[in-house]
């Protein structure tokens, strides 16, 4: 399949000013030549064009014009995939871009699979596997910090550090295997001490990377935060303030929110998925009961709870019950409607710190945002953190590598035969190699690239 010439729409479907269809492979110029009719003295067929040039003309299908297009020509290996590549910019309507793609497929191209362009960039050695994953992270970034972290990984900052420790493990493995080949020569005590020290240094490096997993997950996926409380305490108004837009319907009628509403906001550089929920109370209304059921379902899946109280209402036994219900969750307690006369008297020891806000005027919202950020991410978000924040796949591979490296150190200290030492050391080396794709299986590659969109 790597020998096929592939094509796909690389821009989102829908109406827009422009759309781009990408063509990549050994026959890219030949296929584009059959479809493209150059116009003007400076335009030419792709196969006759200089690399990295753009040409104006018509795209034709069965002798009929499909659309006016601009064709960009890129000769291998100076392309994203390191293959001949043609990018056709056409009008962004659903029909023109569909017909351009169909014309390419009729003339010998194959429809690309999800992530196949990036997979070819990896297979052809332009990027490694962690950089390929960073391409998807760039596309999915929801904050500037997430984008910066993805770009650092795309630039190879994580790959460089991983390759350093892999090379160290490979060097130690070569040393051990050399002594296996010459069983009469034992490893000298001073040499053994050096090998163990190098393995312990590798362990320390793995631990440093593993400590970045939580931050990396937050930047890539965000945190899910449920806004809960009794009906009419101002949960929807608070959501609108945090989002900076009127997303949820606000009404003085209790029970307005019947379903969960999810929206993502940038809170101090972190993507937070806020979930506005139905008010917690006893109800006989079938729809409201379902909304409350969904609220409790959402609470089971979130990492943070924003519990909202009405400052103008008295404390009730329900408030005690709801506090106890999700006591194990990270939570922030908020007293809303502070513009009204304060009647809420919180029992001593019932709650931790309370944050006062007015979700109508916005008073206290910036302080609340600081509290949300500090609850999720302790300390400053420093630039030097961003290049090496691992994802969950890297975390699994590192745990496997760490376990095997630790076992290698124990085996060397206990005088275990070098054949068995080498087995654990190979596991460690291969596990580290999975991060950058040097020991990746076909199933792993399929799993990673299937998560990409078609056209990337």
Which ranges in the chain are annotated with CATH 3.40.50.300? Answer: 219-376
Q: Which among 229, 274, 223 has a CA at the least distance from the CA of 255?
A: 229
- For the residues of 342-410, what is the DSSP string, one character each? P---PPTTS-S-EEE--TTT-TTHHHHHHHHHHHHS-S---GGGGGG---HHHHHHHHHHHHHHHHHHH
Residue with more model confidence, 175 or 337: 337
pLDDT at 282 over 60: no
**Token pair in block for residue 352:** 């931790």
Average pLDDT over residues 134-153: 88
Q: Are 36 and 69 in contact (CB under 8 A)?
A: yes
Say how far apart CA 76 and CA 60 lie, in whole Å: 25
pLDDT in tens, 157-208: 999 999 999 999 999 998 888 878 766 566 676 788 888 899 999 999 999 9
Mean pLDDT score across all residues of the chain? 85
Say how far apart CA 168 and CA 419 lie, in whole Å: 19
Q: Tell me which of 21-30, 137-146, 395-404 is least confident.
A: 137-146
**Token pair in block for residue 251:** 């009404």
Residue 89 backbone phi and psi in degrees, to 5: -95, 115
Determine the pLDDT at residue 186. 64
Determine the pLDDT at residue 260. 65
Which ranges in the chain are annotated with CATH 3.30.1360.120? Answer: 6-112
Angle 440-446-447 from CA coordinates, rounded to 5°: 90
Which ranges in the chain are annotated with CATH 1.20.120.430? Answer: 130-212+389-449
Location of structure tokens 């970045």 = 212
Say how far apart CA 43 and CA 22 lie, in whole Å: 19
Provide the phi-psi class of 248: left if phi over 0, else alpha when psi is between -120 and 50, else beta.
Answer: beta
Homologous superfamily assigned to 6-112? Probable tRNA modification gtpase trme; domain 1 (3.30.1360.120)
Q: Are 127 and 445 in contact (CB under 8 A)?
A: no
Q: Are 203 and 406 in contact (CB under 8 A)?
A: yes
pLDDT at 394 over 80: yes
Q: In Å, what is the CA distance from 169 to each residue of 207, 266, 390, 428?
A: 15, 41, 20, 8
pLDDT band of residue 275 (cuts 50, 70, 90) is: confident
Q: Are 330 and 302 in contact (CB under 8 A)?
A: no
Say how far apart CA 150 and CA 91 lie, in whole Å: 30
DSSP letter at 253 equals S
Note if the pTM is more than 0.85. no
Say how far apart CA 278 and CA 292 lie, in whole Å: 6
Average pLDDT over residues 413-432: 90
Average pLDDT over residues 238-261: 61
Location of structure tokens 């809170």 = 267
pLDDT in tens, 14-69: 888 999 999 999 999 999 999 999 998 889 999 999 999 999 999 999 889 999 99
Determine the pLDDT at residue 112. 95
pLDDT in tens, 303-324: 888 988 888 888 888 777 777 7
pLDDT at 418 over 90: no
CATH 3.40.50.920 fits 130-212+389-449, yes or no: no
Cβ-proximal residues to 328 (8 Å cutoff; 6+ apart), any chain: none
Average pLDDT over residues 417-445: 89
Residue 349 backbone phi and psi in degrees, to 5: 80, 0
Determine the pLDDT at residue 254. 44
Other beta carbons less than 10 A from residue 273's beta carbon:
18
- How much of the chain, in percent, has pLDDT values that exceed 70? 87
Q: Are 277 and 295 in contact (CB under 8 A)?
A: yes
Say how far apart CA 243 and CA 315 lie, in whole Å: 28
The CATH number assigned to the domain with range 219-376 reads 3.40.50.300
CB-based burial of residue 441 (10 Å sphere; 0-12 exposed, 13-18 middle, 19+ buried)?
Answer: exposed
DSSP letter at 64 equals E
pLDDT at 257 over 50: no
pLDDT band of residue 349 (cuts 50, 70, 90) is: low
Determine the pLDDT at residue 428. 94
Q: Which residues pair with 6 in a beta bridge?
A: 24, 110
Average pLDDT over residues 326-355: 82
Helix (H) or strand (E) holding 219: helix 213-221
**Token pair in block for residue 186:** 């034992």
pLDDT at 284 over 70: no
Angle 49-54-57 from CA coordinates, rounded to 5°: 90
Determine the pLDDT at residue 185. 60
- For the residues of 283-351, what is the DSSP string, one character each? ---HHHHHHHHHHHHHHTT-SEEEEEEETTS---HHHHHHHHHTTTSEEEEEEE-TTSPP---PPTTS-
Determine the pLDDT at residue 63. 87
């Amino acid at each position: 399949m790597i020998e096929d010439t592939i094509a796909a729409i690389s821009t989102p479907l829908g109406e827009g000013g422009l759309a781009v269809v990408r063509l990549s492979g050994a026959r890219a110029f030949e296929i584009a030549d059959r479809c493209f009719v150059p116009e003007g003295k400076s335009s030419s067929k792709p196969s006759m064009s200089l690399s990295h040039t753009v040409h104006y003309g018509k795209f034709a299908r069965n002798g009929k014009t499909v659309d006016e297009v601009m064709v960009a020509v890129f000769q291998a290996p100076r392309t994203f995939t390191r293959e001949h590549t043609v990018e056709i910019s056409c009008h962004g309507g659903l029909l023109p871009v569909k017909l351009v793609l169909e014309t390419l497929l009729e003339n010998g191209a194959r429809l690309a699979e999800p992530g196949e362009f990036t997979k070819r960039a990896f297979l052809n050695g332009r990027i490694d596997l962690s950089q390929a994953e960073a391409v998807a992270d760039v596309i999915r970034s929801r904050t500037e910090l997430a984008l910066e972290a993805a770009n650092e990984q795309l630039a190879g900052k994580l790959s460089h550090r991983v390759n350093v420790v892999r090379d160290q493990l490979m060097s130690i493995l070569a040393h051990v295997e050399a002594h296996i080949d010459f069983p009469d020569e034992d490893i000298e005590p001073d040499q053994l001490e050096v090998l163990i020290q190098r393995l312990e240094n590798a362990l320390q490096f793995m631990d440093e990377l593993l400590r970045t997993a939580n931050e990396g997950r937050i930047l890539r996926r965000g945190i899910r935060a449920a806004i809960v409380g009794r009906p009419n305490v101002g949960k929807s108004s608070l959501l609108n303030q945090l989002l900076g837009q009127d997303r949820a319907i606000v009404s003085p009628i209790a029970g307005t929110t019947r379903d969960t509403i999810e929206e993502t906001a940038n809170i101090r550089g972190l993507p937070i998925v806020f979930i506005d929920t139905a008010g917690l109370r006893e109800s006989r209304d079938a729809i409201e009961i379902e909304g409350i059921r969904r609220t409790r379902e959402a609470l089971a899946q979130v990492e943070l709870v924003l519990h909202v109280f009405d400052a103008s209402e008295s404390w009730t036994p329900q408030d005690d019950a709801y506090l106890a219900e999700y006591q194990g969750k990270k939570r922030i307690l908020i007293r809303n409607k502070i513009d009204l006369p304060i009647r809420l008297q919180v029992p001593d020891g019932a709650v931790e710190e309370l944050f006062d806000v007015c979700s109508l005027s916005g008073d206290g919202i910036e302080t609340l945002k600081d509290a949300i950020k500090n609850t999720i991410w302790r300390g400053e978000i420093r630039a030097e953190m961003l290049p090496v924040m691992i994802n969950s796949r890297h975390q699994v591979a590192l745990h496997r590598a760490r376990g095997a490296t630790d076992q290698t150190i124990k085996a060397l200290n206990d005088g275990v035969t070098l054949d068995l030492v080498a087995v654990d050391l190979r596991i460690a080396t291969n596990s580290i190699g999975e991060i950058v794709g040097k020991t990746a299986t076909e199933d792993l590659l399929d799993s990673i690239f299937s998560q990409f969109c078609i056209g990337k």
